[in-house]
Chain A
Amino acid sequence: MLAPGLVVWAKFVNVPDEAAEVEVVSQQWHWSYRFPGKDGVLGTVNSRFVDDTNPFGMNPDDPHGKDDVLVASQEVHLPIGKPVKMLLRSKDVLHNFAIAEMRVKMDMVPGMVPYMWFTPTRTGKFDVLCQELCGTGHFTMRGRLVVEDEGAFGTWLAGHPTYAQTSARVAGDAETGKALYAACGACHGAAGEGNAALHAPRLSGQGDWYVKQQLKYFKQGVRGAHKDDEFGRTMAPMAAILADDTAIDNVVAYIKSFPVAPASAAKEARSDRRAGDQYARACGICHGAKGQGIQAMNAPRLAGLDDWYLDTQLKNFKTRIRGTHPDDKYGSQMNLIAATLIDEKATRDLVAYISAMR
């Protein structure tokens, strides 16, 4: 029994020469991926370089890194029939890159780069799960592997920016954005303060990266396309007004210039200890203890949002109206977390607590 097992293990340990290299980067509780680009060599990285503008920790001085393709998404595509060597890197704690249907898994350890390899033999979609306990959000750390033919894979890969492109991206122009914002301001208010009657949430103070991402989702039909998403459906055509990424960048740059103001209806701060506890244990780890939002965790700002908006969104996540679209990178995490709000009262208490945050 031992001998055949060891023969198989020897095959797993020795990676075939023709295997293509792909790097998986993990953090609490996201996956992202890096392909070597045209030169076929992955650029060097270091955790010292990691920040919000350089989430992959790329070494800016390494020429090999310039053409690396950065896939900041839970989803990765691979071509069928080609062996692939996964280099496993973690930014923070232990994770484990596991694809149950490929019968492979390996831990990802900060400070080192373990590897594993496999050959996808069947097209389709497969779950990528983290299988090493990595904190409260462990069970929400899910990715997706899409195996497809060479052509489709090439198209998919070409749709992602290289490191050189992401670092050269210019900031949007707020002046141009001001004109575009006229259409938004009708509902969201001239200073992005939000409007309860029209169910238009506050925009001021929200992270620009998040507003940008949501605008793209609305535009692509990732958000606001579900038939039961009453308010999302009114937003989708509005986002379509923005012609391209530059227009989105510009309008977001203008929104960013709004002063961070308190919520429209001033409420006294609640001291609901139970809801506060719940927030700290389930929400605050990603969204920040004061609801300030943490870009590195892909968690938007919650402080300053109104209760009616929070209530709708939590229910949308819970009932899977929002977050289940296959292109929604991080929505499934909120589906799993919102499901823990077992009844109306739990949701109401939590919303009351969050909406009192400044």
Chain B
Amino acid sequence: MTYVPIGHDATVYAPPAETPEPELYHPKTFIGKYIWSQDAKVIAIQYSITAIGVGLVALVLSWLMRLQLGFPNTFSFIDPSAYLQMVSMHGMIMVIYLLTALFLGGFGNYLIPLMVGARDMVFPYLNMLSYWIYLFAVLLLLASFFVPGGPTGAGWTMYPPQAILTGAPGAGWGIILMLVSLAFFIVGFTMGGLNYVVTVLQARTRGMTLMRMPLTVWAIFTATILALLAFPALFVSAIMMTLDLTLGTSFFMPGIVSQGKQLGYGGGSPVLFQHLFWFFGHPEVYIVALPAFGIVSDILSVNARKNIFGYRMMVWAIVGIGALSFVVWAHHMYVSGMNPYFGFFFATTTLIIAIPTALKVYNWVLTLWQGNIRLNVPMLFAIGFIFTFIHGGLTGIFLGNVAVDLALSDTMFVVAHFHMVMAIAPVLVVMGAIYHWYPKMTGRMLDDTLGKIHFWVTFLGSYAIYLPMHYLGFLGVPRRYYAMGDTYFVPDSAQSLNASITIAALVVGVFQLLFLYNLVWSYFKGKPSGDNPWEATTLEWQTADTPPKHGNFGPELPVVYRWAYDYSVPGAAKDFIPQNEPPDLSAAGAGVPRT
């Protein structure tokens, strides 16, 4: 028996091209290249800059909220209405306009065509339109800060009836702008989302079978399908609520006596809105989390110089989590007044999700096991993600279990849980991913020292912020409270905890500015990166130019012979074999190639 010196899955199987390459649109002017651009990479950067910009607004809002909670009644401009408006806008911006847009519009656009070996998205014009509609939605949302009454203060969940009745801030203009902006966001997203799905299904290069795709592509692909199925529920509820507000329909409005006045509504159900909202809202968690799962898998594999452990299992876990995410939505509604018998079903489905999720965590850890780990900045962020994600996952088991949730829901514990699992964990991945792919986007490395400082402050700082918050939740401190005042059950020391959380949040927030500085400084002064600084196997690192030109690859599209994880293959000359490197057929025992 002779040793076979080729990597996992490597065969020469690469079917002949079925269709000729379509002609790309070639822009002539600066505006065509960089403004009204149809190049997925430029659109990706437009998406990312817009998302990060609006995310900074949400970051500042979170500082203001924390200032009020940490040092109540110290700042005259934070009144109870303003506080609720900050809470609402912070949540909505972070979840939808930052994370969803950045993962799918930003990373999806940049990485899908490059990683599957396509010249561009399948529908470049639609892709461009998608970005501009997104930008319009962002502007509409920001406009609500300047209308009479200000933005909505009904929480990012916008529950009716309060969202559209006087008594909640921004119940007129604010909520209308929010709903219309969401509708536009969804229209824009659908254009982009269809693009990602069709590109992955139809535009893969020769030899790139589905089971050879990097997990990043699998994850973004699945997340996009989730989004295409989930967002319509939000879309219709936004329209129905707008009609309730403007035309006096009663979709979500029962008979109501508000502030002593009988309103003309009757017969609607507020709980209906919650079902629609969370039918969107729970998959939304995975729309943000799945791309993070995929990206982190790739970063870990590259920097552990090992193949990802259990690739097929990882793919099916992603698909399984995606499917399950549609049957757990009412775990957000255990105490919503819906029939409490639903609790049995939804607690069961919710805890079942722990199985594929835990599987992924085990596989990440096993990927690291005995790896030749390069502890660079993207790797630090990826490992940090594993910690925070496990943390948030474990508290999720508390909350998913309906009997425990009874005491904990609507407290600070929930805030701590979802920030660990849905804010900190994915944001660590976003940052890791930016450190990882920035060299490809610009041709320069981000500064290493600044990156390490940024990582440690962010990682340790998030524990300083959220660990005490879990404790406040156990005490029973409710969320969305402007001030606690005097109670029988919250000790005075809770206030000093709140102050320390605020200080930690401000410090972590300020260090994000260091990251922004690094992004700008390195663009001009960073160390040149070369084509493949991380010695990675996937196609985006094998392009002829860095950053890749319009059309991504040179005159010939790459042909793929192997999966994305040929690291440290025994007998190979280097410790990584790019996906487009043909197997060495001269070696003894290489078997008969399939054609």
Interface: A74 (CB within 8 A): no
Which residue of the partner chain A has the closest CB to B169?
A: A136
What's the nearest-Cβ distance from chain A to residue B92, in Å? 14
How many Å lie between the Cα of A139 and that of B271 in the bound state?
22
Interface: A346 (CB within 8 A): yes
Q: Please tell me the number of chain B residues within 8 Å of chain A, measured between CB atoms.
A: 69
Residues B234-292 near A (CB distance < 8 A): 254-262, 267-271
Check A339/B254 contact, CB under 8 A, given A1-B351, A131-B411, A133-B84: no
Residues of chain B with a CB closer than 8 A to A111's CB: 254-255, 267-270
Are A126 and B255 neighbours in the complex by a CB distance under 8 Å? Answer: no
Interface: B336 (CB within 8 A): yes
Interface: A228 (CB within 8 A): no
Interface: A103 (CB within 8 A): yes
Interface: A57 (CB within 8 A): yes
Neighbour of A139 across the interface among B257, B351, B483, CB < 8 A: B483
What's the nearest-Cβ distance from chain B to residue A117, in Å? 11
Residues A1-39 near B (CB distance < 8 A): 1-2, 5-6, 8-10, 12-13, 27-28
Are B80 and A282 neighbours in the complex by a CB distance under 8 Å? Answer: yes
Residues of chain A with a CB closer than 8 A to B262's CB: 47-48, 50
Which residue of the partner chain A has the closest CB to B263?
A: A92
Residues of chain A with a CB closer than 8 A to B153's CB: 135-136
Residues of chain B with a CB closer than 8 A to A92's CB: 161-162, 165, 167, 256-259
Residues of chain B with a CB closer than 8 A to A112's CB: 254, 269, 271, 337
What's the nearest-Cβ distance from chain B to residue A34, in Å? 16
What's the nearest-Cβ distance from chain A to residue B531, in Å? 49
Check A2/B162 contact, CB under 8 A, given A109-B271, A109-B336, A110-B270: no
Main secondary structure of the interface of A (DSSP, over half): mixed
Are B347 and A335 neighbours in the complex by a CB distance under 8 Å? Answer: no
Are A106 and B337 neighbours in the complex by a CB distance under 8 Å? Answer: yes
Interface: B75 (CB within 8 A): yes
Are A100 and B347 neighbours in the complex by a CB distance under 8 Å? Answer: no
| Contact indicator per residue, chain B 55-93, by CB within 8 Å of chain A (1) or not (0) | 000000000000000001111100111101000000000
How many Å lie between the Cα of A227 and that of B341 in the bound state?
54
Residues of chain A with a CB closer than 8 A to B347's CB: 2, 5-6, 9
Residues of chain B with a CB closer than 8 A to A84's CB: none
Check A136/B337 contact, CB under 8 A, given A5-B403, A92-B258, A346-B76: no
Which residue of the partner chain B has the closest CB to A346?
A: B76
Are B483 and A1 neighbours in the complex by a CB distance under 8 Å? Answer: no
What's the nearest-Cβ distance from chain B to residue A129, in Å? 6
How many Å lie between the Cα of A342 and that of B82 in the bound state?
15
Interface: A256 (CB within 8 A): no
Are A103 and B407 neighbours in the complex by a CB distance under 8 Å? Answer: yes
Are B337 and A109 neighbours in the complex by a CB distance under 8 Å? Answer: yes
Residues of chain A with a CB closer than 8 A to B341's CB: 13
How many Å lie between the Cα of A28 and that of B162 in the bound state?
10
Interface: B154 (CB within 8 A): yes
How many Å lie between the Cα of A104 and that of B335 in the bound state?
9
Which residue of the partner chain A has the closest CB to B164?
A: A93
Are B162 and A135 neighbours in the complex by a CB distance under 8 Å? Answer: yes
Which residue of the partner chain A has the closest CB to B76?
A: A342
Interface: A195 (CB within 8 A): no
Are B483 and A281 neighbours in the complex by a CB distance under 8 Å? Answer: no
Residues of chain A with a CB closer than 8 A to B455's CB: none
What's the nearest-Cβ distance from chain B to residue A75, in Å? 13
Residues of chain A with a CB closer than 8 A to B271's CB: 109, 112
| Contact indicator per residue, chain A 60-93, by CB within 8 Å of chain B (1) or not (0) | 0000000000000000000000000000100111
Give the interface segment out of A152-160, A163-171, A238-246, A289-297: A289-297
What's the nearest-Cβ distance from chain A to residue B466, in Å? 20
Neighbour of B337 across the interface among A13, A108, A343, CB < 8 A: A108
Which residue of the partner chain A has the closest CB to B342?
A: A13
Interface: B489 (CB within 8 A): yes
Interface: B491 (CB within 8 A): no
How many Å lie between the Cα of A101 and that of B487 in the bound state?
11
Residues of chain A with a CB closer than 8 A to B476's CB: 100-101
Are A137 and B154 neighbours in the complex by a CB distance under 8 Å? Answer: no
Residues of chain B with a CB closer than 8 A to A131's CB: 409-411, 478-479
Interface: A105 (CB within 8 A): yes
What's the nearest-Cβ distance from chain B to residue A122, in Å? 12
Are B80 and A139 neighbours in the complex by a CB distance under 8 Å? Answer: yes
Check A96/B257 contact, CB under 8 A, given A1-B401, A111-B270, A281-B82: no
Residues of chain B with a CB closer than 8 A to A136's CB: 80-81, 84, 153, 167-169
Check A57/B257 contact, CB under 8 A, given A13-B343, A131-B411, A339-B73: yes
Residues of chain B with a CB closer than 8 A to A138's CB: 80, 84, 480-482
Residues of chain B with a CB closer than 8 A to A286's CB: 259
Interface: A149 (CB within 8 A): no
Residues of chain A with a CB closer than 8 A to B79's CB: 278, 281-282, 340
Which A residues are within 8 Å of any B CB, using their own CB?
1-2, 5-6, 8-10, 12-13, 27-28, 46-48, 50-52, 57, 88, 91-94, 96, 98, 100-101, 103-112, 114, 124-127, 129, 131-139, 142, 278, 281-282, 285-286, 294-297, 332, 335-337, 339-340, 342-343, 346
Apart from the given pairs A12-B340, A47-B255, A101-B489, 20 other A-B contacts in the complex at a CB distance below 8 Å: A6-B348, A9-B403, A92-B258, A93-B162, A94-B161, A94-B270, A100-B407, A100-B475, A100-B489, A104-B406, A111-B269, A111-B270, A112-B337, A134-B167, A135-B167, A138-B84, A138-B481, A296-B261, A339-B72, A346-B76
Give 17 A-B contacts (CB < 8 Å), ordered by A residue.
A2-B401, A93-B165, A107-B335, A107-B337, A109-B270, A110-B256, A110-B270, A111-B255, A132-B159, A135-B153, A136-B84, A139-B480, A285-B167, A339-B485, A340-B79, A342-B75, A343-B76
Which B residues are within 8 Å of any A CB, using their own CB?
72-76, 79-82, 84, 153-155, 159, 161-162, 165-169, 254-262, 267-271, 335-337, 340-341, 343-344, 347-348, 351, 397, 401-404, 406-407, 409-411, 475-476, 478-489
